[in-house]
Amino acid sequence: MSQAGEQKGTPLTLVLMVASAAIGGTLQYGYNLAIMNAPTTFIQAFINETFWDRWELRLEEYQVTLVWTIIVSIFSLGGFAGALIAGPMTIRFGRKKCMLLNNIFLMSGAVLALTSRAARSFEMILLSRVLVGINAGISMNVQPMYFGESAPKNLRGAISLSSAVFTAFGVVLGQVVGLKEILGSESCWQYLLASNAIPGFIQLLTLPWFPESPRYLLIDKGDKEACINALRRLRGCEVQSSELDEILQEQAETKGMRPKRPWELFTDRSVRWQLISVMIISSAMQLCGNDSIYFYASYVFKEAGISDDKIQYVTIGTGTCEFTACIMCNLLIERKGRKFMLAGGFILMTMWAIVFTIALSLETSVPWMSYLSMGCIFTYILSFGMGPAGVTGILPTEIFNQTARPAAYMIAGSMMWLNLFIIGMIFPFIVSGLSEYCFVPFGTVCLLSALYIVLFLPETKGKSLSVITSEFHKLNFKGQDRSLESLPKAQYQLGELQYWRLYLLSVVLGIGGSFQYGIQVSLIASPAEHIHSFVNHTWILRYGSPVSESTNQLIWSFIVAVLSLGAWAGAIHSGSLPVTYGRKKALLINNGVAIIAALLMVFSQMAKSFEMILLGRFLYGYNVGLGLSVHLMYLGESSPKQLRGFLTLTTSIFIGLGKVTGQIIGIKEIMGTEEMWPYLLAISGIPAILQFVMLFLFPESPRYLYIDKGDIEGSRNALQWLWQENNLKMELDDMQEERERAQGEKAKTVKDVLCSRSVRWQLLTLAIPCAGVQFCGINALYFYAFDIFRESGVPEDKKHYLAIGIGATELITITLCSFLIDRAGRKKLMGIGYLLMAATMCVLTVTLSFKDVNPHIPYVNIGLIFCVICIYGLGPSGVSMALPADLFLQAWRPSAYVISGTINWLGMFLVGMLFGYVVDGLGQFCFLIFVVYSVFSAGFILYFVPETKGKSMVEIMEDFNKLNYKSRGENFESTDVATKL
Distance from C-alpha of 84 to C-alpha of 74, rounded to nearest angstrom: 15
User: Per mean pLDDT, which of 530-544, 649-663, 664-678, 776-790 is the most reliable?
Assistant: 530-544
* Nearest partner of 809 among 424, 409, 422, 258, judged by Cα: 422
Higher-pLDDT residue of 675 and 601 is 601
Distance from C-alpha of 734 to C-alpha of 952, rounded to nearest angstrom: 7
So what's the pLDDT on residue 293?
A: 65
Average pLDDT over residues 785-789: 61
User: Per mean pLDDT, which of 494-498, 611-615, 831-835, 855-859 is the most reliable?
Assistant: 611-615
Higher-pLDDT residue of 780 and 98 is 98
Distance from C-alpha of 204 to C-alpha of 819, rounded to nearest angstrom: 41
**Going by C-beta distance under 8 Å and a sequence separation of 6 or more, which residues neighbour residue 641?**
950, 951, 952
Model confidence at 777, pLDDT cuts 50, 70, 90, reads low
So what's the pLDDT on residue 683?
A: 93
Distance from C-alpha of 113 to C-alpha of 194, rounded to nearest angstrom: 6
CB 722 within 8 A of CB 699: yes
So what's the pLDDT on residue 968?
A: 53
Higher-pLDDT residue of 891 and 860 is 860
Query: Is 26's pLDDT higher than 90?
Result: no
CB 477 within 8 A of CB 269: yes
pLDDT per position as a tens digit, 563-572: 878 888 887 7
Distance from C-alpha of 126 to C-alpha of 109, rounded to nearest angstrom: 9
**Going by C-beta distance under 8 Å and a sequence separation of 6 or more, which residues neighbour residue 809?**
866, 869, 870, 873
| Averaged pLDDT of the chain | 79
Query: Is 410's pLDDT higher than 80?
Result: no
User: Per mean pLDDT, which of 118-132, 274-288, 290-304, 744-758 is the most reliable?
Assistant: 118-132
pLDDT per position as a tens digit, 189-221: 999 999 999 999 999 999 999 999 888 888 888
Distance from C-alpha of 406 to C-alpha of 84, rounded to nearest angstrom: 10
So what's the pLDDT on residue 303?
A: 56
Mean pLDDT is lowest, of 6-15, 301-310, 478-487, 858-867, for 478-487
So what's the pLDDT on residue 10?
A: 53
Distance from C-alpha of 567 to C-alpha of 92, rounded to nearest angstrom: 49
Higher-pLDDT residue of 777 and 392 is 392
**Going by C-beta distance under 8 Å and a sequence separation of 6 or more, which residues neighbour residue 967?**
none
Q: Does residue 240 sit in helix, strand or coil?
A: strand
Distance from C-alpha of 266 to C-alpha of 247, rounded to nearest angstrom: 26
Mean pLDDT is lowest, of 114-123, 449-458, 794-803, for 794-803
Distance from C-alpha of 627 to C-alpha of 583, rounded to nearest angstrom: 10
CB 733 within 8 A of CB 967: no
Query: Is 488's pLDDT higher than 50?
Result: no
Q: Please name every residue paired with 2 in a beta bridge, in sequence order, or none if there are none.
A: 240
Distance from C-alpha of 735 to C-alpha of 706, rounded to nearest angstrom: 7
Cα torsion 727, 728, 734, 737 to 10°: value is -100
So what's the pLDDT on residue 368?
A: 78
Buried b (16+ CB within 10 A) or exposed e, 138-149: bbbbbbbbbbbb
Q: Does residue 2 sit in helix, strand or coil?
A: strand
Q: Does residue 24 sit in helix, strand or coil?
A: coil
Answer yes or no: pTM beyond 0.85: no
Distance from C-alpha of 828 to C-alpha of 814, rounded to nearest angstrom: 15
Does the CA dihedral 289-294-297-299 come out positive or negative?
negative
Distance from C-alpha of 777 to C-alpha of 937, rounded to nearest angstrom: 13
Model confidence at 977, pLDDT cuts 50, 70, 90, reads very low
Backbone dihedral region for residue 938 (phi beyond 0: left; psi -120 to 50: alpha; all else: beta) = alpha
So what's the pLDDT on residue 746?
A: 63
pLDDT per position as a tens digit, 895-922: 776 777 677 767 766 766 666 566 667 7
pLDDT per position as a tens digit, 229-239: 888 888 877 77
Residues of the chain above pLDDT 70, percent: 80
Burial grade of 364 (CB within 10 A; 0-12, 13-18, 19 or more): exposed
So what's the pLDDT on residue 790?
A: 63
pLDDT per position as a tens digit, 259-275: 677 777 887 888 888 88
Burial grade of 839 (CB within 10 A; 0-12, 13-18, 19 or more): middle
CB 786 within 8 A of CB 799: yes
- How many CB atoms are closer than 10 A to CB 729? 8
